[in-house]
Structure 1
Amino acid sequence: MAHEPTHDAERVWYVGYASNLGVDRFRCYLAGGRPEGGLRTYPGCRDGSDPAAWFSFEHPGGLVFAGTSGVWGGGMAFFDPDRPGAVACRAYLVTVEQFGDVVAQEMRHPPGGDFARALAAVVPEVGELHTLGPGRYETVLRLGARDGVPMLTVTSSDVDAVEHNAPSAAYLRSIATGLRESHGWDDGRITDYLVAAARLDGVWTPARVAAAISNGAAR
């Protein structure tokens, strides 16, 4: 992206690694709206402006589908830093307030509420990780820094403790859209990546994933 990030203590890189790889989907958290194929409409942040910058990268770890998504149905994506491999990511430069509001919405709390404000207050203290409490994405994980600004994502504190569950076709399509947009991957590479993440042979075979992400028949 053309915008240059600023050195600003009030900013943070929010790192997305599933459907949030797509800018339009991430904007639903910022400005409000319902992502294509999703089942939930988001209220948006108090400050609904676009990120000041964004960039794509891969980070060591693995993508895991578990639990149940209220937005897509089927399993949710989690970032497991202890799993071998690499996770495709996209980082967005947002304000600390926006970060708190985005994560609050991910955990079904209102933007600007007590949870969002409490999270924003502890962002400067996040070292490697910070657990906020019970919930789906209750742990803030630090993935390093860029231009002196921390790079933070959210996941579960114990991915293996969440029951693994196959994702929905709509979710896979949304992730695939983000992977094409952010990383320029072709459908073959996307299929391999998602099949490895799903780890559920017989549920999402390579052929079924390939059909789903090309808008073929859903399972």
Structure 2
Amino acid sequence: MTTAQHVWYAAYGSNMHARRFAYYREGGTPPGTDHTYPGFRNQAAPVAIAALTLPGTLYFAWRSPVWTGGVGFYAARPAAGWPTGAAARGYLLTVGQFGDLLAQEMYRTPATDFDPAPVLADGSVRLGPGRYETVVHAGTHDGIPVLTFTSPWDPETVALQRPSARYLTMIAAGLAESHGWDLNRVVEYLRVRPGIAGHWDEADLRGALLGGTGLEPP
């Protein structure tokens, strides 16, 4: 059962992988990092999970010290020439759980409640200067708002950054897990994303994903 107190969180990066996302909900230290997440105050499992496609696009920027390369961001209004359609995984959360997730993305301890009203009214709300503190209303699914968060950067001027193989294998595993895509479909999707296009050779991308995720071509 869902109420107005639920929203879909649309994960478009590493959180498409359910085990990775679980560290935010349950708390803990993901492999390969030294950061411990405190977890949600309400650690109940998502009410539902769904494969989603957002109207904007995925791009890669900044340079993560954890992932040693660019990380994913969502552009609700892509720059000229960018592809549209961002594959995502929807987790049906309470509004409180979404707020706790947002806090942890910026390395804060969940402590305050999130009010979805401003973002539902305006389409996007910048809550702070951080990389993932701009909340976007990306449509609805089954009549429930779809929310995600991203950077406040202008897609027309942002400095793109090549993502690492380790980060891309996590995203690829999430795409396979949530959308049921095989290796060819994952490569087709990723190779044209800003930050990958022109920075990753398609053959190298395919090889990295084949070796790092266990995905097999059809």
What is the deviation of 1:146? 2.8
1:127-182 deviation line (CA, Å, top 9, x unaligned): 21111121101210001223432110001222434421111111101000000011
Measured in 1, the distance between the counterparts of 2:35 and 2:142 equals: 34
Measured in 1, the distance between the counterparts of 2:34 and 2:58 equals: 22
**1:40·1:71 contact (CA, 8 Å) conserved in 2?**
no
Q: Which amino acid aligns with 2:107?
A: R
- Unaligned runs of 5+ residues in structure 1 are 1-5
1:61 to 56, 59, 73: 56
Change (3 A) 1:175 1:39: farther
TM-score, normalisation: structure 2:
0.86
2:118 to 104, 125, 129: 125
Measured in 1, the distance between the counterparts of 2:187 and 2:34 equals: 24
**1:40·1:70 contact (CA, 8 Å) conserved in 2?**
no
Per the alignment, residue 196 of structure 1 pairs with 192
TM-score, normalisation: structure 1:
0.85
Percent identity of paired positions between Structure 1 and Structure 2: 44
| Aligned residue pairs, count | 205
Change (3 A) 1:38 1:187: farther
**1:38·1:170 contact (CA, 8 Å) conserved in 2?**
no
Measured in 1, the distance between the counterparts of 2:21 and 2:196 equals: 27
Measured in 2, the distance between the counterparts of 1:60 and 1:86 equals: 5
CA RMSD of aligned residues (A): 1.9
**1:65·1:164 contact (CA, 8 Å) conserved in 2?**
yes
Per the alignment, residue 108 of structure 1 pairs with 107
- Aligned pairs (5 A) from 1:54-93: 54-83=49-78, 84-93=83-92
Measured in 1, the distance between the counterparts of 2:63 and 2:36 equals: 17
Q: Which amino acid aligns with 2:184?
A: G
Measured in 2, the distance between the counterparts of 1:187 and 1:38 equals: 27
2:171 to 175, 198, 201: 175
1:66-104 deviation line (CA, Å, top 9, x unaligned): 002243221110111222421001111111111111011
